[in-house]
Amino acid sequence: MVDKLFIERPKAGLRALLVFSSKVNSCLATLVELEELVGSAGLETVAIVINPRKIPHPKSLVGSGKLQEICDQASQFDAGIIVFSEDLSPSQEKNIEQAAHRRVLGRTGLILEIFAQRARTHEGKLQVELAQLQHAASRLVRGWTHLDRQRGGSGKSQGASAGLSGDGETQLEADQRQLRARTKKVKQKLAKVQRQRKQNRKARQRSETATVALAGYTNSGKSTLFNTLSHADVHAADQLFATLDPTLRQISLPLTGKMILSDTVGFIRALPHTLIEAFKATLEEVSHSALILHVVDAAAAEKQERITEVNKVLKEIGADQIPQLLVLNKSDLLEMEMPVIRRDSAGTPISVSVSALVGQGLDAMLNCIDELLAGELVQTVVTLNPEQGMIRAKCFKMGSVIREVTHDTGVIELHMRIEKRNLSILNSALMQR
């Protein structure tokens, strides 16, 4: 892990003590989520300590009495790691570790541990490393045992005043310098990935192939839905953040033809900003899509809260204005008939009930996608003379030709289904003939 490169910390086992702040996390659902996060990190919860403190203690978050209780509980249950339900300041983290002699993780650090385990592709590993580096930068604080000063010699070359003996570079400064250098290198590599993704998107736009992005709370069944629709083998598991790496597959629709389906990382309540920044290249697939399939675990008790949290992230990445279709997955757990399609007052589909696992309601969902994508399409017939081959080629390049009819006179009829925004471009080309 990145932080181990720069900070000496107590070794952690696989047994975890959870410290749950009832002030910040007022509902049971968030405690369940914390336990799921801990389990997804490969840790075993052995005990839970409730912290009811309303005002955080500046040194230890929990206060001296509660801190002693945490230390005692960790010793009693042989917990090698202490996990907090909220983020800690660098100094709070250091103080608790020194008191407990155990590894301490806040919420962001825990999620980063999971991400580091899940990343499989080169891009995914780069994104996780960037997030780790950004997080580690704030953990480099004075007071860690190994940050002792390296004594320098004399002279300006050692950073001292001319002719005087002075201190050399501190270990803290050396760590900061190494961290900055590595962060810069990783950002450069990710920028290259981002440029490649941009080129790929432009190619899809030129071919008029719409991208439909899957988005939703983690463990809502996005990857299972993706695999079922595209016959792919993306890793899907009943755990948080099972999928980190973006995957794209082509799917055919009856009305609008080809589309690109994109699977992305799952969202979570209060998704750390460092993760949003690190996964910017990936999340751009969502922000540049024609339609978002917002996948929801229909059986989750906190369904509405999760919808709200996902919409917050979509707004942060600039995707809040993209049309959405709410996909209520796992509806089979509710023992309800499928499909159930809800429409707005204009008759536009806004939600559909499905079960990706058992394959119910998927045809209805595809019809809804087709209908939403076709909303911006118009049908027209273009008549061309034999010498207008360039315009004919342009029509085919748009990917909008349904049928071509050639008459005995050489006149060509192109029956087209084309986006409204491209219709004016085509009309201008026809007027110049």
Which CATH number covers residue 103?
3.40.50.11060
In a domain, 197, yes or no: no
The whole-number pLDDT of residue 169 equals: 58
Residues 238 and 360 placed together within one structural domain of the fold:
yes
Residues 32 and 158 placed together within one structural domain of the fold:
no
CB-CB contact of 248 with 261 (8 Å): yes
Residues 246 and 267 placed together within one structural domain of the fold:
yes
Provide the residue range defining the domain that includes 421.
377-431
The whole-number pLDDT of residue 192 equals: 84
Number of domains in the chain: 4
Distance between CA 258 and CA 400 in Å, rounded?
11
State whether residue 50 is helix, strand or coil.
strand
In a domain, 194, yes or no: no
In a domain, 351, yes or no: yes
Residues 182 and 331 placed together within one structural domain of the fold:
no
In a domain, 267, yes or no: yes
The whole-number pLDDT of residue 431 equals: 72
Residues 146 and 113 placed together within one structural domain of the fold:
no
Residues 282 and 182 placed together within one structural domain of the fold:
no
In a domain, 388, yes or no: yes
User: Who's near 93: CB < 8 A, 6+ residues apart?
Assistant: 104, 106, 139
Residues 14 and 112 placed together within one structural domain of the fold:
yes
Give the pLDDT confidence of 259-289 residue by residue, as tens digits.
Answer: 889 887 777 776 666 677 666 666 777 888 8
In a domain, 302, yes or no: yes
Which of 327, 247, 310 is CA-nearest to residue 276?
Answer: 310
Show contacts of 330-339: CB within 8 Å, 24+ apart. 330/220, 330/221, 330/297, 330/298, 330/299, 330/355, 330/356, 330/357, 331/298, 331/299, 331/355, 331/360, 331/361, 332/357, 332/358, 332/360, 333/298, 333/299, 334/298, 334/299, 338/364, 339/363, 339/364, 339/365
Final residue belonging to a domain, choices 118, 141, 175: 118
Residues of the chain with pLDDT under 50: 1-8, 25-26, 142-166, 235-239, 242
The whole-number pLDDT of residue 143 equals: 42
The whole-number pLDDT of residue 362 equals: 93
Residues 335 and 367 placed together within one structural domain of the fold:
yes
Chain-centre distance of CA 8, in angstroms?
30
In a domain, 200, yes or no: no
